[in-house]
């Protein structure tokens, strides 16, 4: 029987909602599943004190090292990092980081097949370059290289040669040229930033929006679509992030309203892009196979697709009851990974 361990930094699996769904699905799939933290790993004896779910409670049990590990979160301590690093070199992990935004951008650009969907972007190492790209596109976005959930993003629009409108977390201010350069310099001294052309994707009501394409590997190691959904920003916002006041809707209803008679073609385009891009993305990394991706795209007024971001460990929104589908794909893929690794090792 395949043994799957779910690795998480939280001690109590009751505080990790997905753990219950995985445990239930694993039992239905004939797989043994347990939950553990880095602190419970005994490297010397190659054992782990994990927790399994039985009759409504999580029970401690000693396990051998599992066949595969679903690494659900980052370790929080240096000791935990060393333990996770040790395990990752000996046991297949389901999840792998795609890297930062610039690294992903360069890989896709080198891969060529999907480079036409990339937004013109550069790393902002010299603030004078910011003025050049603003002159080129009039409206640009500055975003942290390793940021998430829309934090630290600046939207900059040229008013005239000396004045620039800056939207910083919803606060709109007018900056003189030197003030803008000083602000940009302060930002890039704190962390690395990208600057890119601003792409406007709006629905009829004026709200900005994008699509999250959530894909997973199944029990055959093939990409399948878990969910596709629009993310709609609050009115007046430049971002559609759900953590910043955005909301979502059911895909078919949204497409019918926004694209009318063409809605089904748009849906098929989104589905095709989800799978074709994911298969291509896998080829851009040597020795790494991803288990799931969250691909964020926009469709502009000319119905051109733009690729905003590629995420690993994405989560479905509350509006979708995807927990069971999500868990089924994860458990079946982990089982496939374990079997493949055993065959390879033998």
In a domain, 322, yes or no: no
Is the domain of 80 the same as that of 155?
Answer: no
Is the domain of 190 the same as that of 227?
Answer: no
In a domain, 329, yes or no: no
Distance CA 251, CA 228 (A): 7
Is the domain of 164 the same as that of 62?
Answer: no
- Tell me: pLDDT of 321 over 90: no
Banded pLDDT at 152 (limits 50, 70, 90): confident
- Tell me: pLDDT of 344 over 70: no
Q: What is the pLDDT of residue 151?
A: 74
Q: What is the pLDDT of residue 318?
A: 58
In a domain, 170, yes or no: yes
Q: Which of 165, 197, 229 is the last residue of a domain?
A: 197
In a domain, 192, yes or no: yes
Residue given tokens 């009318």 in the structure block: 260
- Tell me: pLDDT of 236 over 80: no
Q: How many residues does the chain have?
A: 346
Distance CA 89, CA 222 (A): 24
How large is the average pLDDT for residues 322-342?
A: 89
Is the domain of 77 the same as that of 131?
Answer: no
Is the domain of 73 the same as that of 190?
Answer: no
CATH number at residue 255: 3.30.470.20
Is the domain of 109 the same as that of 242?
Answer: yes
DSSP one-letter code for 152: T
What is the domain range of residue 83?
3-93
Distance CA 41, CA 65 (A): 9
Q: Which run of H or E residues covers position 195? A: strand 193-197
DSSP one-letter code for 160: S
Banded pLDDT at 147 (limits 50, 70, 90): low
In a domain, 230, yes or no: yes
CATH number at residue 56: 3.40.50.20
* Residue range 66-123, pLDDT digits in tens: 999 999 998 999 999 999 999 999 999 999 999 999 999 999 999 999 999 999 999 9
Is the domain of 81 the same as that of 15?
Answer: yes
User: Which residue in 125, 301, 133 sits closest to 203, CA to CA?
Assistant: 301
pTM for this predicted structure: 0.92
Is the domain of 190 the same as that of 233?
Answer: no
As for how many domains the chain has, the answer is 3
Q: What is the pLDDT of residue 346?
A: 45
Is the domain of 8 the same as that of 37?
Answer: yes
Is the domain of 207 the same as that of 257?
Answer: yes
Banded pLDDT at 316 (limits 50, 70, 90): low
In a domain, 30, yes or no: yes
Q: Which of 197, 223, 242 is the last residue of a domain?
A: 197
| Beta carbons within 8 Å of 277's beta carbon, 6+ residues apart | 114, 213, 295, 307
Q: Which of 5-19, 22-36, 216-230, 243-257 has the lowest mean pLDDT?
A: 243-257
Q: Which of 197, 217, 238 is the last residue of a domain?
A: 197
Is the domain of 112 the same as that of 127?
Answer: no
- Tell me: pLDDT of 50 over 90: yes
- Tell me: pLDDT of 215 over 50: yes
In a domain, 342, yes or no: no
In a domain, 337, yes or no: no
Is the domain of 129 the same as that of 111?
Answer: no
User: Which residue in 245, 249, 242, 279 sits closest to 263, CA to CA?
Assistant: 249
User: Which residue in 296, 319, 302 sits closest to 202, CA to CA?
Assistant: 302
Q: What is the pLDDT of residue 323?
A: 74
Cα angle 231-233-239, degrees, rounded to a multiple of 5: 95
């Amino acid at each position: 029987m395949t043994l799957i361990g779910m690795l998480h930094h939280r001690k109590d699996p009751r505080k990790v909602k997905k753990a219950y769904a995985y445990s239930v699905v694993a039992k239905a799939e004939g797989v043994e599943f347990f939950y553990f933290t880095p602190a419970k790993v005994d490297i010397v004896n190659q054992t782990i004190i994990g927790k399994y779910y039985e009759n409504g409670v999580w029970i401690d049990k000693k396990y051998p090292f599992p066949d595969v590990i679903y690494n659900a979160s980052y370790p929080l301590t240096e000791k935990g990092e060393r333990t996770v690093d040790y395990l990752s070199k000996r046991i297949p992990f389901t999840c792998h980081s795609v890297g930062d935004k610039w690294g992903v951008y360069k890989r896709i650009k080198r891969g060529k097949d999907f480079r036409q969907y990339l937004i013109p972007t550069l790393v902002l190492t010299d603030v004078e370059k910011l003025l050049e790209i603003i002159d080129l596109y009039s409206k640009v976005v500055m975003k942290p290289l390793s940021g998430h959930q829309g934090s630290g993003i600046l939207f900059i629009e040229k008013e005239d040669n000396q004045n620039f409108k800056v939207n910083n977390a919803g606060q709109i201010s007018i900056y003189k040229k030197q003030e803008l350069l000083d602000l940009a310099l302060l930002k890039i001294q704190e962390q690395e930033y990208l600057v890119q052309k601003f792409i406007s994707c709006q629905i009829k009501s004026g709200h900005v929006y994008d699509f999250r394409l959530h894909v997973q590997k199944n029990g055959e190691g093939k990409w399948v679509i878990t969910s596709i959904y629009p993310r709609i920003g609050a009115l007046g916002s430049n971002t559609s992030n759900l953590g910043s006041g955005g909301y979502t809707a059911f895909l078919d209803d949204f497409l019918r309203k926004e694209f009318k008679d063409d809605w089904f073609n748009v849906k098929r385009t989104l589905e095709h892009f989800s799978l074709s891009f994911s298969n291509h993305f896998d080829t851009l990394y040597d020795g790494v196979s991803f288990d799931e991706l969250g691909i964020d795209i926009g469709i502009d007024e000319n119905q051109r697709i733009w690729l905003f971001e590629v995420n690993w460990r994405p989560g479905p929104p509350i509006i979708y009851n995807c927990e069971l589908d999500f868990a089924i794909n994860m458990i079946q893929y982990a089982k496939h990974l374990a079997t493949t690794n055993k065959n390879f090792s033998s």
